[in-house]
Structure 1
Amino acid sequence: MTVASTPATSGILGSGERRAPAARLGVAVVHDLVAAIVTGAVKPGEPLPPEGDLVSSFGVSRTVVRESVKRLEEKGLVTVSQGRGTVVTAPSEWNLLDRVVISTMIENDETLGILDELAQVRGDLESSMAAEAARRRTENDVEHLTAALQVQREALGDLDAFQQLDRRFHDVVMKTSGSRLAESIAHTLVQRASEYARFHGDPGPEGFALTLVEHQRVLDAVAAGDADDAAEAMREHIARSWERRRLPR
């Protein structure tokens, strides 16, 4: 099998002239193979090109190709079986929390569909944590959350500082919830997405001021111990924040 050379799949058919340490070459090969899979250049149920073809295409050794295929298998992107070779799995099998997988999906996501899904999942996770934070909060927790919002308010004119403190506010809510698994997943999603300019988008001149208003509503609900209102406030904030930042398709 061969894969057509297009802008989306050029990585899988390398120039054969790569010259770098094997470890770095392996990273590049994995990235290009992941890109070929997540963009549909090689579809679920289809085999990757034979090992010899990949060696020639990428200009690397068989060892590098084999190690790269192992990394794909660990990420749930392929299965290796006797007789069928290395076959791409269904998207439901992919480890979307894996750094390379989710980053490559975002990188190739021209319609912003993955970021739309991410906002939805993040809203579900963080709204449940906000509700739990409202149930568990102590006076000390409320003080920490109030302080986090105040520092963010003071940084309104500093874009980089404001965005950092925005995350800090969310972190305090999540830590107050005590939901370590949900917190870890939410952190991973945001960290991967934040590496791309399209995640930050263009919130508009009033975007940051609106964020402070929405954060205040979350804080008030958590302080009052109102789990339902805290969940609703957080869900609406994440949805509206993404709507403000989202670039046109």
Structure 2
Amino acid sequence: MLWHMPTDAAAPYPTIAARARTPRLGVTVVTDLVSAIVRGDLAPGSSLPPEAVLCEQFGVSRTVIRESVKRLEEKGLVTVAQGRGTQVLPAASWNLVDATVLSALVANDATLGILDDLSTVRASLEGVIARDAAAHRSEADLERLRTAMQLMRDTIEDEPAFNAADVVFHQAVGEMSANRLAVNIVGILFDQARESDRFHLHSRLETTLEEHERVFAAIETGDPDEAEAAMRSHIADAWERRRPPSPKR
């Protein structure tokens, strides 16, 4: 729904699309403002409407608006300057791995460019994680990975269960890596990809299983080069299979 600005407002400020009020008002305001900035409703260099206008549009207190603006500033979307108000920053300043920002980018990605970039970055990072797993695997690690691999084999006829087993496999590989930063970033990227309906188009399960078997074999035999190559190839090829047509590439 839209919260309309007061008719006596001194300046023509954009009306921010806002959802129905919830107990977590601050979260809702931040999410809606992030979406407005990502969509371009609030362009770089422009100013956020004054507190009074935002309070009216969202139906919240000044305290909620001030806290929400602080969250936007932390995410790199705005800067607060004395005497100039709150200005929207260009995309180069945004924290793109922030879950709220990334979610808005994916949701408003008409050309799938963000999901393309996300898959490229994820392939690189998961390749590094698989290499690390192959180089430092323990028998306990391998046993967990064998269990995850067998779960994928056992669920090949049940796509939802297979997809859940796929997640378990990647988590098991991540647990074998000492590169916690890469694992954390991959988790954020993967979570956001999975939230997009366009990521969940049917993928050939037999092919996906074969790709995981290759990753598993390389880690089990302790071949870091092959583990990295197999994981990179799997992530890139899996996205190409899922990717729907779009006007631009």
TM-score exceeds 0.5: yes
Alignment-derived partner of residue 136 in structure 2: 136
TM-score, structure 1 as length reference? 0.86
What is the distance in 2 between the residues matched to 1:213 and 1:178? 26
Give the conservation status (yes or no) of the 8 Å contact 1:44–1:88: yes
Aligned-residue offset at 1:4: 5.1
Alignment-derived partner of residue 182 in structure 1: 182
Report which stretch shifted further, 132-141 or 81-90.
132-141
What is the distance in 2 between the residues matched to 1:67 and 1:168? 37
Aligned-residue offset at 1:112: 1.5
1:79 aligns with 2:84: no
1:223 aligns with 2:185: no
Aligned-residue offset at 1:96: 2.2
What is the distance in 1 between the residues matched to 2:232 and 2:208? 13
1:69 aligns with 2:66: no
Aligned-residue offset at 1:147: 2.2
Aligned-residue offset at 1:3: 5.1
Q: Which runs of 5+ in 1 are unaligned?
A: none
Give the conservation status (yes or no) of the 8 Å contact 1:202–1:247: no
Aligned-residue offset at 1:36: 1.0
After TM superposition, the structure 1 = structure 2 runs for residues 1-249 of structure 1, keeping only pairs within 5 Å, are 2=12, 11=17, 20=21, 23-203=23-203, 207-249=204-246
Structure 1: 4+ residue segments shifted above 3 A: 1-5
Q: How many residues align?
A: 236
Q: What is the CA RMSD across the aligned residues, in angstroms?
A: 2.0
Alignment-derived partner of residue 5 in structure 2: none
Letter in 2 for 1:222: I
**Same amino acid, percent of matched pairs:** 50
- For the residue of structure 2 that corresponds to 1:163, the secondary structure is helix
- For the residue of structure 2 that corresponds to 1:109, the secondary structure is coil
Residues 73-103 of structure 1 deviation map (CA, whole Å, 9 limit, x = unaligned): 1222111011221011232322223222111
Give the conservation status (yes or no) of the 8 Å contact 1:34–1:101: yes
Residues 201-239 of structure 1 deviation map (CA, whole Å, 9 limit, x = unaligned): 232xxx111011001111111122221111111000000
- For the residue of structure 2 that corresponds to 1:115, the secondary structure is helix
- For the residue of structure 1 that corresponds to 2:80, the secondary structure is strand
Letter in 2 for 1:154: D
Aligned-residue offset at 1:26: 2.7
Give the conservation status (yes or no) of the 8 Å contact 1:202–1:246: no
